[in-house]
Structure 1
Amino acid sequence: MSCHLPVELKHKAMWVMKMLNLDWGAASNQMLNDLNMLDEFRLKAYESSSLYKEMMKRYHDQRIEKREFVVGDLVLLFNSRLHLFPRKLKSKWTGPFLVTKVLPMVRLSLRIVKEQGSW
């Protein structure tokens, strides 16, 4: 059993090209132009998305509140390594801690506050 389907499709494609008087060169040039336009569109989308991200970062940074801590403040400590032991309902904040010393570059010296009682 043999199959002549690919030859038949190729023959019909050539027959249609001849019937419609289409030119392979013009069709391939049009396809290359379409691909170039698609590449330009993708590049413009990439540029506009990076511009949008930059504007959103600027917007976010303008609205961040500067926090200054003084000795005696009670603070909570964020545990960024909690994802090693994932628990949905576990709090990522520990504390409270008492600020004992304020160091440069937003560094703090903390001391654990003993809990007064329980709920």
Structure 2
Amino acid sequence: MDLEKAGESRMLQLNELDELRLDAYASSVSYKEKTKRWHDARLRDKKEFSPGDKVLDFNLRFKFSPEKLKSRWTGPYEVKKAFLTGYVELIGNGNTFKVNGHRLKLYYDGVEANEYDDITLYPKS
């Protein structure tokens, strides 16, 4: 058994293993970049709220209810302050609390009534 040939063979195997490891690392980095681009392309736009807006809050903890048709939206609450990170400070029932902006949707006080012309389908007799 030649020890020099065995040593060279072992060094070649170690170098090949290092190359495979570097290739795997480069492949994982490119995979993560592609996945991040795909994920970021499908993100919803950030909801923007301004102080004074009225919003409804989605109740995440509401699991089971005897009333099937009970709404999971609570409120309306008034926006006190909106942070750049996406959190919104709300005022409701004399309390102030912070929630994630993804849980909120704008609340409109009044419904605008559309005026329709009176259309008769059958002639009056």
Q: Residues 113 and 36 (structure 1 numbering): CA distance in 2 closer, same or farther, change over 3 Å?
A: farther
In terms of Rg, which structure is larger? 1
Q: How many residues align?
A: 78
C-alpha separation between the residues in 2 aligned to 1:59 and 1:104? 27
C-alpha separation between the residues in 2 aligned to 1:38 and 1:113? 65
C-alpha separation between the residues in 2 aligned to 1:99 and 1:35? 65
User: How far 1:99 sits from its partner (Å)?
Assistant: 4.0
> Partner of 1:74 in structure 2?
56
Bigger strand share: 2
The gaps in structure 2 that reach 5 residues or longer are 62-72, 95-125
| Alignment-mate amino acid for residue 10 of structure 2 | M
Q: Work out whether residues 99 and 108 of structure 1, in 8 Å CA contact, stay in contact via their aligned partners in 2.
A: no
SS for the counterpart of 1:67 is coil
Q: Residues 34 and 103 (structure 1 numbering): CA distance in 2 closer, same or farther, change over 3 Å?
A: same
The gaps in structure 1 that reach 5 residues or longer are 1-16, 18-22, 79-90, 115-119
Q: Work out whether residues 99 and 111 of structure 1, in 8 Å CA contact, stay in contact via their aligned partners in 2.
A: yes
Q: CA RMSD in A?
A: 2.9
C-alpha separation between the residues in 2 aligned to 1:45 and 1:107? 39
C-alpha separation between the residues in 2 aligned to 1:113 and 1:56? 43
Q: Which of the residues 78, 88, 104 maps onto 1:108? A: 88
Q: Residues 42 and 113 (structure 1 numbering): CA distance in 2 closer, same or farther, change over 3 Å?
A: farther
Cα deviation 1:34-54 (Å, max 9, x = unaligned): 110001100110111011111
**Aligned residues: percent identity?**
32
| Alignment-mate amino acid for residue 88 of structure 2 | L
TM-score calculated relative to the size of structure 1: 0.52
